[in-house]
């Protein structure tokens, strides 16, 4: 009997449905047992998010500082053939619940020398979060063999408004003139193809998973226009997260004042820096084509576009 563990944390339910779509074919197999671990915080995060509450966790999220979890309902002594880590992206980093899970003794035991597949559902920017995830998994001696990333259906420009409104109102389409936020339902259903490929590999080959299984299945799409913006944003987040953490603990007045300045800075950066970077990339494209191709290949690994 092959064993697969699916670890996830979902607020709206979208990521859970995505994980279920991938795991569905595995559950249908008589020779594969699928266990599920839902991460639960000791102090649950709200959904929809109050505006200031969301930004108050910015420093801890970017610095990947674990927060208390409820006891994990999993037997860490079980050796799994595959662990699927389904996570959201917060502030260009893995979500705080997933970061907190990865800091537990149970995660260290479960993931050591174990094949891992990461599964992301987010607005559009996941590159820096996945690079941090790769590093953390390396520190845990896990073996990342595949990665899947699905992004919002309404495009980069409109999702800049639609996704935050979903976060802060709990409604995927709070206004008629806005498209529905989130990953397209067809894309969620189509994610079962990844489960089918994993099922075939686990059923017909009893050797441990060593190489990517999902190559050629369009597991990810790397938007080259976002590479530079993510790098710049991540550097800025690192600086601001250290500064805000020094101002005081979560919900302190000093942090609130610092956050007000930070949000103004962030809006200015989005309005000015992102368009400038996009124009420069367009102008320099003939000179940087090979370099960008190498970057895309590295970010797309291990499953590839």
Nearest residue to 30 via CA among 197, 199, 177: 199
DSSP single-letter state for residue 225: G
Q: What is the pTM of this model?
A: 0.93
In this prediction, residue 164 carries a pLDDT of 87
C-beta separation of 80 from 4 below 8 A: yes
Nearest residue to 14 via CA among 114, 150, 127: 150
Residues in the chain: 305
Q: Are strands 89-90 and 115-122 parallel, antiparallel or unpaired?
A: unpaired
In this prediction, residue 188 carries a pLDDT of 97
Q: Starting at the earlier edge strand, list the strands of the sheet with 32-38.
A: 32-38, 2-8, 82-87, 115-122, 143-151
C-beta separation of 116 from 144 below 8 A: yes
d(CA 47, CA 68): 18
Going from the first residue of the chain to its last (305 residues), give the mean pLDDT of each consecutive group of 10, the final group possibly shorter: 97 96 97 97 95 93 97 94 98 97 98 98 94 98 97 77 88 84 94 98 94 96 87 92 92 90 85 72 71 86 92
DSSP H or E segment with residue 85: strand 82-87
pLDDT digits (tens, 9 = 90+) for 19-31: 999 999 999 999 9
C-beta separation of 56 from 259 below 8 A: yes
């Amino acid at each position: 009997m092959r064993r697969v563990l699916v670890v996830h944390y979902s607020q709206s339910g979208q990521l859970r449905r995505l994980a279920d779509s991938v795991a569905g074919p595995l559950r249908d197999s008589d020779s594969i047992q699928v266990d599920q671990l839902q991460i639960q915080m000791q102090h649950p995060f709200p959904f929809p998010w109050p505006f200031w509450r969301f930004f108050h966790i910015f420093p801890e999220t970017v610095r990947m500082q674990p927060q208390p979890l409820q006891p994990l309902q999993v037997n860490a002594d079980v050796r799994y053939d595959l662990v699927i880590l389904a996570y959201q992206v917060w502030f260009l980093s893995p979500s705080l619940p997933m970061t907190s899970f990865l800091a537990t003794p149970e995660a260290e035991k479960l993931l050591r020398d174990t094949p891992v597949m990461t599964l992301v559902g987010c607005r559009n920017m996941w590159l820096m979060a996945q690079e941090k995830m790769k590093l953390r998994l390396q520190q845990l001696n896990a073996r990342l063999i595949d990665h899947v990333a699905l992004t919002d259906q309404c495009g980069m420009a409109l999702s800049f408004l639609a996704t935050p409104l979903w976060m802060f109102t709990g409604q995927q389409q709070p206004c008629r003139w806005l498209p529905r936020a989130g990953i397209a339902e067809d894309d969620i259903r189509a994610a079962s193809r990844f489960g089918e490929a994993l099922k075939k590999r686990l059923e017909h080959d009893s050797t441990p998973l060593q190489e990517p299984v999902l190559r050629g299945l369009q597991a990810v799409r790397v938007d080259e226009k976002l590479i530079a913006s993510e790098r710049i944003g991540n550097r800025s987040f690192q600086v601001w997260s250290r500064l805000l953490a020094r101002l005081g603990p979560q919900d302190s007045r000093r942090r609130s004042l610092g956050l007000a300045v930070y949000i103004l800075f962030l809006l200015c950066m989005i309005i000015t820096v992102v368009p400038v970077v996009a124009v420069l990339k367009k102008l320099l494209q003939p000179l940087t084509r090979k370099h960008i191709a190498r970057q895309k290949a590295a970010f797309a690994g291990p499953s590839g576009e």
